[in-house]
Amino acid sequence: MRQIVLDTETTGLEVRQGHRLIEIACIEMVERRPTGRHYQTYLNPDRAIDEGARQVTGIEDEFLLDKPRFADVVDEFLAFIDGAELIIHNATFDVGFLNAELARMGESYGRIEDRCNVLDTLVMARERYPGQRNSLDALCKRLGVDNSARDLHGGLIDSQLLAEVYLSMTSGQVVLDLGFEGAQEQGATVALAPIVLDRRPRVLRANDDELAAHEQRLDSLDKSAGGTSVWRRDDGAAVH
């Protein structure tokens, strides 16, 4: 699966008040692994940046005067994200601004949802951590992601942090490709044949390096849980 972790910065909070994008940043992952490919650009919004947005991003109006406009980069940007699953924190905000920019380009450009599936990590975090703060900074702290380099909001660093947060939040989710693709249409069922063992299964035991790596993972889970995680609660012994 190809995924794009995306973040934007804007002149203000309200797209309906004519605020515009000033930065787009994306990081590519394939099969949950960063590929090293990224897309990032600043944009001339043809309007002033609100004081609140300027304080959050550190971006000044003068800095953007010689930057391209969205129309100059739209085809390159869409080519980078086309067909991928977009991972965005508070996706309603970013997608709303992206769709507003696309609408200015004409109907032929459609909407982001026409090109990509969108996964909102804020929705995911609220389901997983109800009643808790779920900003990107709060999630970094909760999940042990180092965000010490994030003095200001910036598209590329926020995308990098979000990629780590997403991978940490979904580390227990494993995709098993069992060759059923194409059979999972609406109303279709897949019949699984019973597994018959003709000999006793061979037990594979972890070696010392694997046990050490497992202990490191448990330490990380303990840190995220703020104490002893559920994986160590087995009459005082770690679960192996």
**Active-site residue numbers?**
153
- Cα gap 118→32, rounded to integer Å: 15
- Cα gap 26→218, rounded to integer Å: 31
Q: Quick one: how far is CA 68 from the chain centroid?
A: 26
Q: DSSP assignment of 109-165, as one string? A: G--HHHH-EEEEHHHHHHHHSTTS--SHHHHHHHHT---TT-SS--HHHHHHHHHHH
> Taking a C-beta distance cutoff of 8 angstroms, is the pair 41, 77 a contact?
yes
Question: How many CB atoms are located within 10 Å of the residue 102 CB?
Answer: 21
Q: 154: alpha, beta or left, given left = phi > 0 and alpha = psi -120 to 50?
A: beta
Burial of 8 (0-12, 13-18, 19+ CB in 10 A): buried
